[in-house]
Amino acid sequence: MSALSALHGVRSVLVSNLFTKLPVPAQTSELSNHTVIVTGANTGLGFEASIHLSRLGVGKLIMAVRTIPKGDEARKTILKLTGQPDSSIEVWPIDMDSWDSIKTFAARASQLPRLDGVLANAGIMTDHFGLSENNEKTLNVNVISTFLLYLLLLPKMRESGKQTGHVCRFVIPNSALHYMAPLAELEPSDRSIISRLNDSEKANMAGRYPLSKLLVIYAVRELAERSTSSGKGSCIINTPNPSFCKSNLAREAQGSRGFRIAEKLLARSTEEGSRVLVHGLLAGPETNGQYLSNCRVEIPARHVTGEWGQQVQKNFFNELLEQLEKIQPGISSNI
């Protein structure tokens, strides 16, 4: 991380949260026959995004949650707020800590008549090292499991696009913190990037969430490029930044006085932040492979776009594919 990148990240948050008014999502096309999945839909940004989608008249909203009773309560609240029919929202189980759960969910989703959008909102922020499927938990949930879900659903998303004429969108929330991500664990080494990130003795957990968002940008850019050139069909994948929002994501830091002051002075409401995510679901093909901020394409950090970043992107993505192949043999052929 360079000082210039860090300053750009800070500037991005200040400009976004103090001087930018985000548009309220508006219906740009007929959504009554669309099917959209939102993971982590019972709370925070996922919940607010689900309210917007229901209000816009999405025909089938699938709220993918880890705890079904909590999902059911959230569903009832949304239906009461939007007045949509009961049949317009379903609650399905998914645990992003569990590859088997993701596989089961993807297999079920692949049987849907159509799939028009996926908001892969579920994610974690923690500075404590812990394991999930033998990987550091932030790395696994925010990156490995998210792209496992993407590649498992990709054949269905392409099939749906060919049948309906509507290109499916796959949206992964990002953060301006990627400008401040520590880069030491990505430098060339005799060890793989993933193995270094899984080293409990050397892991930089204070910077792990920003780094996970940087890795998401690398993978989104690489997937967009490779998927487009494969000739198998279209799917738009993008990664919008809702900026600093009031949500449960940073609950570990919420006890500190400094965080509470910053949240009071700077944070967007959860509803405001969710507008950016819904925009990603409705945005056009120009957003494929892109980092978005304030509902428009924005150039990410220099350690993404520069020569060093482009090489790290390819190295990491190859490692990610190798990991995903171990989880689901043959999955890379979906690209």
Q: Which amino acid is at 298?
A: E
Catalytic-labelled residue, pool 60, 137, 156, 213:
213
Q: Across the strands, what pairs with 72?
A: none
State the residue for tokens 């692949």.
110
- Are 287 and 236 in contact by the 8 Å Cβ rule? The answer is yes
Q: Which of 282, 243, 279 is nearest to 263 (CA)?
A: 243
Rounded CA-CA distance 39/45 in Å is 10
Annotation marks residue 213 as catalytic: yes
- Give 27's contacts (C-beta < 8 A, 6+ positions apart): 56, 57
Please answer whether residues 9 and 305 qualify as being in contact, where contact means their C-beta atoms are separated by less than 8 angstroms: no
38 by DSSP, 3-state: which? strand
Catalytic residue among 179, 209, 218, 291: 209
Cβ(114)–Cβ(31) below 8 Å: no
* Contact by Cβ (8 Å): 316, 186: yes
CA distance 248 to 83: 27
209 is catalytic: yes
Residues 245 and 271: their CA atoms lie apart, in Å, by: 9
Cα–Cα distance, 67 to 69 (Å, whole number):
6
309: tokens are 């970043």
Residues annotated as catalytic (active site), given as ranges: 209, 213
